[in-house]
Amino acid sequence: MQNLEQLQLLIEQELGKIAYPKTPQKLYQPIEYVMSLGGKRMRPMLLLMAHQLFDKNIEKAIPPALGIEIFHNFTLLHDDIMDNAPIRRGKKTVHEKWNNNVAILSGDVMMIQTYQLMCNVDKDVLKEILDVFNKAAIQVCEGQQWDMDFETQSDVSLSDYMKMIENKTAVLLAASLQIGGITAVASKENQNNLYHFGLNMGIAFQLKDDLLDAFGNPDEFGKKIGGDIIANKKTYLYLKALALSNPHQHADLVGYFSTTEVTEDKVEVVKSIFLALDIHNITSELMKEYHAKAMQHLDAINSRNKEPLLEFSAMLLDRVS
């Protein structure tokens, strides 16, 4: 059984073997660029970890694992355009380095490449894998649309937000794990527990991401601190602060999130309200609750080889970037 470091190295090696055509240069060079930026490779790692719970030979799980990672990066390419994000993993985003049209078309190729890799599995499990992936891919798009809608919607509830992050972030982690179970021909019960382990871990991951966006170290986080505040994103931190705020704090929050004007003190004032209302600790506690739910599903999986997933879950909870 391979550990996290070995799986991550394997994924990097396999991604490095993908040969892109030299022309058209502006179609393929951006793909090579975005894939070279690295990242945690969580989704393919989870797929391979799930597979090796039931089958030590992970070769047959490598193509869909690579496909999941390329799909994830495709969504980042397009999300960055929609969010007008200048930085991704500490480097210029593709649309900043080239332009929007280049990023859109390169992303389209990445989506097609994803399906090429997804189809490179045993024919007995192909339909099942595509059903899981297609459902997750649609939900990711739904989550992204809700995320954009919330920027101009005044009546976003905490439950609305939790459903949005479940779709935008968590379902792809969950699907990665389930697909790994499918390639290893795991039982439906084990697949279901893998999926819900990933779903709850994904929600915990996004809550941690929200925290880091406001309170992380910019050198470690790889993105501009306060980006969600500047973009008026109604994160869990903001919505919980609204619910707990006094009239003066409420007016300040609504005022700052009602304008696209970026003032010098916007991020600091909003963060000061978050701190005054203990939003950091409240969010951390909710993150731990979802982590605990994930661990219940992990415990229910019928396998003795769960150490890499345990290590992964601990790393997620403790991460600083």
CATH of domain 4-318: 1.10.600.10
By residue count, the chain amounts to 321
**pLDDT exceeding 70 applies to what percent of the chain?**
96
Residue 24, preceding bond cis, omega within 30 degrees? Answer: yes
pLDDT: is 154 or 58 the higher one? Answer: 58
What is the pLDDT at residue 23?
A: 96
CA–CA gap between residue 219 and residue 226 (Å, rounded): 13
Query: Which residues, at least 6 apart from 164, have a Cβ–Cβ distance to it below 8 Å?
Result: 143, 146, 147, 150
Condensed to tens digits (0 to 9), the pLDDT of residues 210-229 reads 999 998 766 655 556 788 89
Amino acid 321: pLDDT: 47
Mean pLDDT over 90-102 rounds to: 95
Whether the Cβ atoms of residue 313 and residue 298 lie closer than 8 Å to each other: yes
**Position 74, amino acid:** F
Least confident of 88-102, 131-145, 305-319: 305-319
Q: Give the pLDDT confidence score for residue 231 in this predicted structure.
A: 82
Predicted pLDDT of residue 218: 64
- At 320 the pLDDT is 47
Which pLDDT tens digit goes with each residue over 79-93?
Answer: 999 988 888 888 999
Mean pLDDT of the chain: 93
Cα(96)–Cα(80) distance, integer angstroms: 9
pTM of the model: 0.92
Side chain identity at 277, as an amino acid letter?
L
pLDDT of residue 222: 54
Q: Each residue of 254-302: pLDDT tens digit?
A: 999 988 777 778 999 999 999 999 999 999 999 999 999 999 999 999 9
Q: What does 219-231 look like in DSSP terms, one character per residue? A: HHHSS-TTHHHHT
Provide, rounded to the nearest whole percent, the portion of the chain with pLDDT above 90.
Answer: 78
For 17-67, write each residue's pLDDT tens digit. Answer: 999 999 999 999 999 999 999 888 999 999 999 999 999 999 999 999 999
Which pLDDT belongs to residue 46? 96
Question: With contact defined as beta carbons under 8 Å apart, do 176 and 156 qualify?
Answer: no
User: DSSP string spanning 197-250?
Assistant: HHHHHHHHHHHHHHHHHHHS-HHHHSS-TTHHHHTT---HHHHHHHHH--HHHH
Position 290 scores a pLDDT of 96
Can you give the pLDDT at residue 224?
66
